[in-house]
Structure 1
């Protein structure tokens, strides 16, 4: 099996992040590298409820640092490990570093790959194909992604493999499992709750041919939400498709359509009071179109919406215009303006447009 195809099948991160790392050691079949990025911006992305006016200031844009290692075990097997931490660059205190990734993996060209720990989930290889722009990208998959396994899955065991059909394309398969756990989840500034998660499982299929991909994933497991009367099956069917390669010269198109049960939450007004609840049925949509010029300028427009399918109302919808420019392979400038297209019915709020202007330096 082709190693590049295996990497595509096993790593949701190939869709959502630019992999830049410095190899510090490579000897006798062992490597060690350091990577990540520092990303800061000036923008208007938060609202100060106390002042009832927009808060313009300095923001971080998902900065992180990671350490990776590989070791050749012989007979075609390679072990690898990665640790990645989010950086709190603006505030001091006890949470300057928080875990993003931490796993150990075992790969073979023919037998595939298994990994254990906090890792990008197979589900993300389908749902994350539009999670590309730096300033504004996918939101719905990150609501409770560590516990539900929709983005970076916590305490996850995964396996993936891929088959190369030559001119007929390639097919990737990924499966994953998460055990029972209890976790504190923050749904909003005013609501933090303890949920109990049962065993969770997911499967993802990725088919690629001639620069086009078609993808499907299913994610399921029971959750005992503290604000609901009984345990619910939280599951999701997600479909996606892409054309091209994001950031490479030319056109990139991506679309995501997810049908969810008890996977998304929303805050809606009941009388004068805002109430946050888990949505029984919801639909999430993400669309992205970008065009990279030969001078390294990448222009994009994206759209995202979450619908309360039970009430037939829009929870939120946004669209953003963005630009990214690679001054070098390690230094990228970016700008974006996101239009709040607003929700409807219970979810109707004042429009809150946002903008960001910043830079990302890859370590």
Structure 2
């Protein structure tokens, strides 16, 4: 899964000391590092129980020891000229440490793979990597080990497809302002293009940072996440997603707030709004963290919500209150343990879960 602030801090500290990644080559402006981690966890999750008709009639507790995102990767960079550096990253995260095997399908084992150029002009990246809305909007609320609050990506269910075949330009900071724009291109030879035509999406965001405060806004038109209308046979994108997140840091305390939306074009799909608050506190040997989110399924736009607040709550399709609580503890510079609880407010307590785990980074 995703690293906590503690894990990120550990990785940064170890990188600075040369212990986090093994540098296998560093000569004439070219550097190659090997890095990774082992993540193993125990999960106990309330899982849906269906009857013969496929209807959910309850939930039962099911547990397992599982790999939690064990990763092995390579990072390289080369100084092309003063102020211009080329770089690459190749990462695998489906190693299945709990079962000592790799993914049976090689297409399922990759995590990130990209090349890029960075310098005074900014950063240009090409390949497969996390979505901008994930990095700038969703992660500041819950970038946890086992459980996160839901978001506009889980609402449309196409997050993995959003990570591939992308190019992104990220600007340098201009007095605190920064922007990023990009596209995901799927050619007509791609299996994902069910209408056999080439398609290019558009996404972008802006961010402003002033001292301990930052605010970011991101939009993605999801053009390459397509579906077929069962009535008309027409192919269309699933919709649009966008959001705004603000953060404020005081010493070792980080506070964050998010407003996010998924506009659905899917037949019988639901527009969904997400309103969230997050907090993370570093107590010295680790972090304690929490998040609360109100999910409004079948909601109107952000502005129309002001008018709808005067209407009967029953006019809405569904609403949920989600809570994530967690803590971690640093055993050493490269090893930590964690525990998390998730409550998703679904019928029969479905998806509610408890997890504990250990991570070792190198």
With normalisation by structure 1, the TM-score equals: 0.76
Q: Which residue of 2 aligns with 1:268?
A: none
Q: Is 2:139 the counterpart of 1:137?
A: no
DSSP 3-state at the match of 1:18: helix
Q: Which residue of 1 aligns with 2:97?
A: 89
Q: Which residue of 2 aligns with 1:59?
A: 66
Q: CA deviation at 1:341?
A: 1.8
Query: Any idea what the Cα deviations from partners look like across 1:76-114, whole Å, max 9, x if unmatched?
Result: 2100000111122234461476111000001112x1111
Q: Which residue of 1 aligns with 2:182?
A: 176
Indicate which of 327, 331, 339 corresponds to 1:327: 331
d(CA) in 2 for partners of 1:27 and 1:340? 51
- Asked if 2 retains the 8 angstrom alpha-carbon contact of 1:82 and 1:104, the reply is yes
Instruction: Count matched residues.
Output: 314
Q: Which residue of 1 aligns with 2:15?
A: none
Q: Is 2:271 the counterpart of 1:281?
A: yes
Indicate which of 297, 301, 320 corresponds to 2:286: 297
Matches within 5 A, 1:60-139: 60-86=67-93, 87-91=95-99, 92=101, 94-95=104-105, 98-109=109-120, 111-127=121-137, 128-139=139-150
d(CA) in 1 for partners of 2:129 and 2:274? 23
- Asked if 1 retains the 8 angstrom alpha-carbon contact of 2:46 and 2:59, the reply is no
Is the alpha carbon distance of 1:16 and 1:304 closer, same or farther for their aligned partners in structure 2, counting shifts above 3 Å?
farther
- Asked if 2 retains the 8 angstrom alpha-carbon contact of 1:42 and 1:57, the reply is yes
Q: CA deviation at 1:232?
A: 4.0
Q: CA deviation at 1:52?
A: 5.9
Q: CA deviation at 1:359?
A: 0.7
DSSP 3-state at the match of 1:59: strand
Q: Which residue of 2 aligns with 1:42?
A: 42
Query: Any idea what the Cα deviations from partners look like across 1:156-206, whole Å, max 9, x if unmatched?
Result: 0110112342xxxx1111111011365569xxxxxxxx6888321111111
Q: CA deviation at 1:71?
A: 0.4
Q: Which residue of 1 aligns with 2:352?
A: 353
Q: Which residue of 2 aligns with 1:32?
A: 32
- Asked if 1 retains the 8 angstrom alpha-carbon contact of 2:216 and 2:244, the reply is yes
Query: Any idea what the Cα deviations from partners look like across 1:205-226, whole Å, max 9, x if unmatched?
Result: 1111111111101111435313
- Asked if 2 retains the 8 angstrom alpha-carbon contact of 1:40 and 1:58, the reply is yes
Is the alpha carbon distance of 1:350 and 1:124 closer, same or farther for their aligned partners in structure 2, counting shifts above 3 Å?
closer
Is the alpha carbon distance of 1:29 and 1:214 closer, same or farther for their aligned partners in structure 2, counting shifts above 3 Å?
same
- Asked if 2 retains the 8 angstrom alpha-carbon contact of 1:16 and 1:132, the reply is no
Give the structure with higher Rg (CA). Answer: 2
Is the alpha carbon distance of 1:175 and 1:224 closer, same or farther for their aligned partners in structure 2, counting shifts above 3 Å?
same
Q: Which residue of 1 aligns with 2:166?
A: 156
| Structure 1: runs of 5+ lacking an equivalent | 1-11, 186-193, 266-276, 343-347
d(CA) in 2 for partners of 1:174 and 1:278? 33
- Asked if 1 retains the 8 angstrom alpha-carbon contact of 2:215 and 2:247, the reply is yes
Higher normalized strand content (fraction of residues): 1
Over aligned residue pairs, what C-alpha RMSD do you find? 3.2
Query: Any idea what the Cα deviations from partners look like across 1:326-354, whole Å, max 9, x if unmatched?
Result: 12231111001112322xxxxx4444421
Q: Is 2:238 the counterpart of 1:238?
A: no
Q: Which residue of 1 aligns with 2:345?
A: 341
Is the alpha carbon distance of 1:46 and 1:74 closer, same or farther for their aligned partners in structure 2, counting shifts above 3 Å?
farther
- Asked if 2 retains the 8 angstrom alpha-carbon contact of 1:305 and 1:314, the reply is no
- Asked if 2 retains the 8 angstrom alpha-carbon contact of 1:175 and 1:203, the reply is yes
d(CA) in 1 for partners of 2:46 and 2:272? 25
| Structure 2: runs of 5+ lacking an equivalent | 12-19, 51-57, 300-314
